Amino acid sequence: MSIEKTAGIVLKCKVCYRLTVGADFCALHLKAYENITENYQVWKKALGISWIEYLYEIRKNSLTGEWAKEVAKYLIDDEGTRDVKEDQERCV
C-alpha cells in the first residue's frame, strides 16, 4: 500500500507499518539493515560463511535485536535480495 505525497510516492517499510526513508525500510529497520551488512564481514572472516548462512545464524541468535531479526527474516524470504547479495559476494 502506498501513500501519495506531493514530492512523490512514499512506501511502507517492508517489515513494519512505518514509512520508508530509503528504498525498502523505515529509519528503524534501515539502521538494523546497516548493522547486518556491516557485521557480515566480521562473521565471514570468523567463520567463512556465506551471506545466507550468516542471515540464518543471526536470525536464530538470541542476542540479535528484534528489528535486526525482522530484517534478517525479510532478507531470507526475499529471494531477489538474496541473489543480488550473493552475486555481489561472488564479485568481491
Nearest approach, Cβ of residue 8 and other proteins (Å): 15
**Nearest residue (CB) to other proteins, 47 versus 84:** 47
Give the nearest distance from C-beta 38 to other proteins in angstroms: 8
Cβ neighbors of 31 (< 8 A, separation 6 or more) are: 67
Q: What are phi and psi of 79, to 5 degrees?
A: -55, -45
Integer-rounded Cα Rg, in Å, for the chain is: 14
Binding site for other proteins (CB under 8 A): 17-19, 28, 31-32, 35-36, 38-39, 42-43, 45-48, 58, 61, 63-68
